[in-house]
Amino acid sequence: MHSNSKNIPPKLGRKRGNNKISIDKNVISKDTENNQYKIQKAPSKEVEKKISKVGRISSITTKVEQDNRKKFSSTKNSFSDPSLSNEGTKNTSKNSKRKLEGTKKSIKNIKDKSIRCVPVGNKNKLTNDIIEDELYVCFEDEEHEEGNSNRYEDCSSLSTEEKYDLYYNCLPIKPVKMYGKQVEFYKALQGLKNQKYSIDCTCNKIRNSIVTKIEKKSFGIYSNTKNLFKVFFKKSTGKNLVERCAFWPSKCEYFFYQINGMKGKSYQEQIDNHIIFIKGYGLNNDELKAKMNPKNIIMTKKVYIGTPECLNSGNFLFGFNHPCFFLTDPIEFFFLKTEMNDIIACAYTKLKRNSKYTFIYSHPNAMDLSDSICGFPNISDLARFLEVNFMTYDYSGYGISSGTPSEAALKSNLRTVINYLVEEKNVSVDKIVLFGYSIGASLSAIIAEEYPNLGGLILFGAPASLGTVLKYQLLKSNIKIDDEICDDVFNTVKAISNVNARTLIVQSKVDKMVPHSNGFAIFKNAKNPVPPYLLSDIKHNYMDSSSKALLKIKEFIQYTLKQDPLK
């Protein structure tokens, strides 16, 4: 890492879809004492190529990609009204000119105010003289026109043609207010394109590297064989092939633990009585290192799988399987019991400032709670940037949660988390926003249907249904405009048509796991959507660290949920 960051406590992150510790240096320096982020030297082209190879989700050949583009092109042409084809092009050009003129006027109006404007669409245009506690107006680019954006506030009343045009020619993100420390965070995010921030593991390497590689290869073969057996022969894991293909828990690399004095005291009491130490309570980095490093404390209890006795043990600390890592972010860890009697691991972080909303994050497949804790951004980082309270959890059978994953079990998990916030944290349902990613997005949409007063719904990389994704992966057969989504396993399209909450849909053009056509199918059927956002160059596994995707959520919070920046 950079020499200026030698005092930063180690923070490890696993590459998505991989249980290895990443060796990607010189990306971001994090000042943990002041919660600031600084961009370091960008990775070389060779490193970027390596990252690109690791991040690849499927090995689709160029020919197949071309065929898919042809299919999409023919679908688009067959969908459009032939009588509008020539004139539509001209009108688009006129609209672009009018849009740009309106934009300049809109930005000028903002500049007349005392708040300083900062362009964040291009990282090269971002200035370095950002003051941490000063309020800024950040805009993606100069193509924002207020009137044009307001026209699409009620997307449900649009025709299918208008929805198609809005989805594939999405509106620019509106100007968003944020403080200087959040602008710095955004600048740091811009350095993470299709990669996750991580640093070298500093654990003592005792074992032979060749032996380690052989072990990992052997485990991979064993795991794949086990999964194939589950899919084709173990009917207890699902009623049909689609349901048996749905769940792929990753190898768990974390645990919960407690130290002396924690039991019987609340999280805040533990902080006030100096039993545990976290950031933001007067200690510098060196003091935190000395007091919270697992090497210097005595663990009285380690939990590798949730049990009923964990429910009465209060909160826990987070441990990772690499001794060089320890967490000092203000995140509370505990267990909850679901209606199906599974014990699930949970994490919750609350802002010191009073936020109106609490987000519940449901993670993608083949990941677990540690992916939301160890990497950058983690849930504490997201809570500070979005200015919301944040809660996440592990599905039954994932991480250290007990039970077996199934659609019914996952539904039970999310209902349990919602009930916990309502009953234990006194959060009303209309102040809860469900934020789901991939399979977690489908789950969030299905549960949102059960809560008509829900505050909001955010879907990242949501599949139309698991059957459509499986069909695409096996046959490379994409969704067409008029396709009906018939299978019932995590059917997002069916659920979204009955969701009252304002819904933000974020998808990516280059997503080879869940094609962008899934997002349009969801948007077309959504009951109460806001203008969607289609990312141009972010792969499926990296949407949660995309600067533009998170800026779009920031816009959703300020314009749709009506929460201004917190002082």
What's the rounded Cα separation, in Å, for the pair 317 and 329? Answer: 10
DSSP 80: S
Provide the pLDDT for residue 319: 93
Is the separation of the CB atoms in 557 and 457 below 8 Å? no
Q: Under DSSP, is residue 11 helix (H, G, I), strand (E, B) or coil?
A: coil
Average pLDDT, the chain: 77
Task: Give the DSSP letter string of 267-317.
Answer: HHHHHHTTSS--TTSS--HHHHHHHH-GGGS-EEEEESS--GGGGGS--BE
Give residue for tokens 């909001």: 456
Instruction: Give the pLDDT band (50/70/90) at residue 156.
Output: confident
DSSP 559: I
Query: Region 402-408: what's the mean pLDDT?
Result: 92
What's the rounded Cα separation, in Å, for the pair 239 and 338? Answer: 22
**55, pLDDT greater than 90:** no
By the 10 Å C-beta count (0-12 exposed, 13-18 middle, 19+ buried), 75 is classed as: middle
* Pick from 456, 370, 522, 469: nearest CA to 18: 370
What is the tens place of the pLDDT at every residue in 437-492? 999 999 999 999 999 999 999 999 999 988 788 777 776 666 665 556 656 788 99
What's the rounded Cα separation, in Å, for the pair 281 and 445? Answer: 38
**499, pLDDT greater than 90:** yes
What is the tens place of the pLDDT at every residue in 226-251? 666 666 666 655 666 666 677 888 88
Helix pair 466-475, 516-525: axis angle to 10 deg? 150
